[in-house]
Chains A and B, each alone.
Chain A
Amino acid sequence: MSEKLVDARDTYCPGPLMELITHMKKAEVGDVLELLSTDEGTVNDVPEWVDKIGHEMVSSEEADGVWHLKIRKMK
């Protein structure tokens, strides 16, 4: 299990979600991915996707206009 950073800053919807999904496919169950996004829609879109697919939202924080979302791969 490891932590990985997915830097999707300065891409627009649905760029951050697609970046996350691309990296999620390559990750292993139990890995935590931290997504960086400057797109405000990410804050709602990513948890919605995580919930539908069945992964786990670990945290969601904003600092200096950048959202940091941590997601654990569950399957």
Chain B
Amino acid sequence: MSNRISVICITGTREKLQMGAMVASVGAATGADVTVFLSMNALPYFVKDSTEVAPSEGEMGRVMDAEPGVPDYKELFQQAVELGDAKILPCPMVMDVLKLSKDDLMDEVGPVTGLTKFLSDAEGSQVFTF
């Protein structure tokens, strides 16, 4: 049975998005079946062409922002999809509240997936929440 990883991103800070992106990209590249569920404050950072940078929680985020050698979390999520067939699923509740449609989000994100389907898919997988 293949390894399955579920990453739940709900926090809109640099550190948590970075860690979620790292788990998703490395997991997907290593052959795991990766599903990322985006909700709450994390989702707005996946709006297409948005240049808004997630604020730091602490010192680590500020140091990472200044270090060009740290991979960009958006690129890592894209690599998770391109290199490892990860799925990045936006939460319909947040999309309704923010009046977003699927076309407003990065191309790698979708389809819009409700909690019922996500929970069913996540059953029995490793779950990481950021």
> Using Cβ atoms and an 8 Å threshold, which residues of chain A touch B68?
10
**How many residues does chain A have at the interface if contact means C-beta atoms less than 8 Å apart?**
16
Answer whether residue B112 sits at the interface, using C-beta atoms and an 8 A cutoff.
no
Q: How far is it, in angstroms, between the C-alpha of A52 and the C-alpha of B71 when the chains are bound?
A: 23
A30 in contact (CB, < 8 A): no
Query: A74 to chain B: closest CB distance in Å?
Result: 14
The distance in angstroms between the C-alpha atoms of A22 and B29, with both chains bound, is 10
Q: How far is the CB of B112 from chain A (nearest CB, A)?
A: 27
A10 — which chain B residues lie within 8 A by C-beta? Answer: 68-69
Asked if residues B79 and A12 are in contact (CB atoms below 8 Å), the reply is: no
Cα distance, A13 to B26, chains bound together (Å)? 10
In the complex, how many residues of chain B place their beta carbon closer than 8 angstroms to a beta carbon of chain A? 14
Contact of B71 with A21 in the complex, beta carbons under 8 Å: no
Q: Which residues of B contact A (CB under 8 A)?
A: 22, 25-26, 29-31, 67-71, 76, 79, 83
A49 to B31, CA, bound (A): 9
User: Residue-by-residue, is A41-63 near B (CB-CB < 8 Å gives 1, otherwise 0)?
Assistant: 00001001100110000000000
- CB-CB under 8 A from B25, the residues of chain A are 14, 18
Nearest A residue to B83 by beta-carbon distance? A21
**Which 5 pairs from chain A and chain B are nearest by CB?**
A15-B71, A11-B69, A10-B69, A12-B69, A14-B26
CB distance from A13 to the nearest CB of B (A): 7
Are B83 and A49 in contact (CB-based, < 8 A)? no
